[in-house]
Amino acid sequence: MSLPRHPPVLLAAPLLALALLLTGCSSGAAPQKAPAGVPGQGAAGPQSDAASALRSSADPVPPAPSPAEIPDLGPETLAQIPAEARQAFVVTGEEADSYRSSAVLYSRADPARGWEPVAGPWPAHNGMEGWTDHHVAGDRRSPTGVYTLTDAGGRLPDPGALLPYDEHPRFAVDGEGFFGEPLEGSFDYVVAINYNRTAGVSPLNRTRPLGLERGGGIWVHVDHDGPTQGCVSVPEERMEELLRTLDPALNPVIVMGDAESLRR
């Protein structure tokens, strides 16, 4: 008599269950950590990015540098310089009653950078009695203030001036200065200072809008090694350099006075 056979499926099922228990369900992949630095997952996810952005926004941003101003000029003087001026010839007297000065040419080619020195300092002379804020004819003082420069001229041929240049023999001068120095050649080159004059004409023009009593004929001219009647003078080679540099397209001005008055 033979024993009955069990169906194969009844034996296979327990063996399959035992195999699954032993392998720990190795047929299914375990969850993996996201690699560090992958945005949106793990420690380097969105929280980290937001914190970094917050720190960046909290860092102070250095302010843009202010445009440079001309040194040793006070607010009142700076306010007189026209906004369109891109060149400034600054003549600074040693004292209110001194005839000795120094001169520096500044340029404002890039308004964002401000004023920068481009020539000087040069030795200069001004009026014998110094400076005044109310010039009158014969006071032998130079007028303080800010004045435009539009016209040039001289006895000698044009050295390459950018301003309109009037070559004329009437610029000849002779005689002696206050200390006996010869004046010959002083007007070989001149730049008219637009104090009590009409802009756009020869420096020889004698029109005086403020009246004759307020003086006139105030120029930058060739130095004769002594004080002037009211003009500003610099060495001849510096006059040539000035004539070749002052550019009407840059609306040049002269800023002139004793050091104390210019600091106001």
The residues annotated as belonging to the active site are: 221, 231
Based on C-alpha coordinates, what's the Rg of the chain? 42
DSSP code, position 31: P
Give the H/E segment covering residue 96.
none
Residue where the block lists tokens 């860092």: 59
Are 119 and 91 in contact, with CB atoms under 8 Å apart? no
Instruction: Kindly state the helix (H) or strand (E) to which residue 56 belongs, with its residue range.
Output: helix 46-58
Instruction: Collect all residues with Cβ–Cβ distance below 8 Å to 110 and sequence separation of at least 6.
Output: none
Residue with tokens 């004759």: 212
DSSP state of 24: T
Contacts of residue 197, defined as CB under 8 A and 6 or more positions apart, other chains included, come to 205, 207, 208, 209, 216, 217, 218
